[in-house]
Amino acid sequence: KAGVTQTPRYLIKTRGQQVTLSCSPISGHRSVSWYQQTPGQGLQFLFEYFSETQRNKGNFPGRFSGRQFSNSRSEMNVSTLELGDSALYLCASSLISFGGLNEQFFGPGTRLTVL
């Protein structure tokens, strides 16, 4: 089975621009979560999508948004980029188990640099 794929792997933008990141989950996984990872804050939860609906949202400003398509692929958008948005953005997919397990499988990430 192919793993989680993320595109692009690297991205350089300037302040004020917007960016869209893409994630393709493992086949059969319907839940996709996004995380921001920085040296200072670690791995922080952005949002989770399940069946095209945002089910959970972390504590990030409205500039961060996402969506999920009917094939479970997901995109994340950041508008009006700030220097502090420079980070590794990770996507993870999971096969939701209603028994309490939420094992996440991560993609390689998109390294975003804002200049």
Partner 1 sequence: TQLLEQSPQFLSIQEGENLTVYCNSSSVFSSLQWYRQEPGEGPVLLVTVVTGGEVKKLKRLTFQFGDARKDSSLHITAAQPGDTGLYLCAGGYGDMRFGAGTRLTVKP
76 in Cβ contact with 89 (< 8 Å):
yes
| 62 forms part of the interface with partner 1 (CB under 8 A) | no
Bridging pattern class, strands 53-57 and 105-106: unpaired
- Tokens linked to 35: 């995380």
27-46 binders of partner 1 (CB under 8 A): 33, 35, 42-45
Piece of 11-19, 60-68, 70-78, 100-108 that binds partner 1 (CB under 8 A): 100-108
Q: Which of 91, 100, 97, 98 is nearest to 45 (CA)?
A: 91
State in angstroms the smallest separation of the CB of 99 from partner 1. 8
Amino acid in the structure at residue 6: Q
From candidates 51, 52, 55, 63, binder to partner 1 by CB under 8 A: 55
Shortest Å, Cβ 7 to partner 1: 14
Q: In whole angstroms, what separates CA 78 from the centre of its chain?
A: 11
Residues that bind partner 1 (CB under 8 A): 4, 33, 35, 42-45, 48, 55-58, 88, 90, 92, 100-109, 111
